[in-house]
Copies of this chain bind each other. A is one copy, B any other.
Amino acid sequence: MSEDITVREAAALLQGWDRILILTHQYPDGDTLGSGFALCRGLQLLGKTARVECSDRIPEKYDYLFEDYQQPEFEPHVICAVDVADPRLLGDKLSVYADRVELCIDHHGSNTGYARRRLLDAGSAATAELILELLREWGVRPDRMIAECLYTGIATDTGCFKYSNTTSATHRAAAELMDIGIRAELINRTMFDVKSRPRVELERLALDSMRFYFGGRCAVMFITNEMVKKAAAGENDMEGLAPIPRQIEGVWVGVTLREKADGTYKVSVRTGTHADASAICAVLGGGGHVRAAGCTLEGSDEQAAAQMLEAIRRTVPGIA
A278 to chain B, nearest CB (A): 18
A185 interfacial by beta-carbon distance below 8 Å: yes
Given contacts A168-B179, A207-B204, contact A248 B162 (CB under 8 A): no
Of B175, B195, B216, B243, which contacts A168 at CB under 8 A? Answer: B175
User: Is A299 on the interface with B (CB-CB < 8 A)?
Assistant: no
- A5 in the interface (beta carbon within 8 A): no
Instruction: Report the bound CA distance from A197 to B247 in whole Å.
Output: 10
Q: Say whether A3 faces chain B, with CB atoms less than 8 Å apart.
A: no
A235 interface contact, C-beta 8 A: no
Contact with B along A190-207 (1 / 0, CB 8 A): 001111110010011001
Complex interface: chain B residues within 8 A of A216 (CB): 197
Is there a chain B Cβ closer than 8 Å to A309's Cβ?
no
Q: When the two chains form their complex, are residues B184 and A178 in contact, meaning their CB atoms are under 8 A apart?
A: no
Instruction: Judge whether A178 and B185 touch: CB under 8 Å.
Output: no
Bound-complex Cα distance A39 to B79 (A) = 54
User: For A162, what are the chain B residues with a Cβ–Cβ distance below 8 Å?
Assistant: 160, 188, 192
Within 8 Å CB of A179, what residues of B? 168
Q: How far is the CA of A195 from the CA of B186 in the complex (A)?
A: 26
CB within 8 Å for A249 and B203 given contacts A163-B185, A168-B178, A185-B164: no
A302 within 8 A of B: no
| Chain B residue nearest in CB terms to A196 | B249
**A35 interface hit (Cβ, 8 Å):** no
Interchain CB contact under 8 A, B195 and A249: yes
Please report the C-alpha to C-alpha distance between residue A200 and residue B203 in the assembled complex, in whole angstroms: 11
Q: How far is the CA of A305 from the CA of B300 in the complex (A)?
A: 42
| A174 at the binding interface (Cβ < 8 Å) | yes
Does A93 have its Cβ within 8 Å of any Cβ on chain B? no
| Residue of B whose beta carbon sits closest to that of A174 | B171
- Give Cα A197 to B194, complex, Å: 24
**Interface set, chain A 144-201, CB cutoff 8 A to B:** 159-164, 166-169, 171-172, 174-176, 178-179, 184-185, 188, 192-197, 200
Q: Does A263 contact B (CB under 8 A)?
A: no
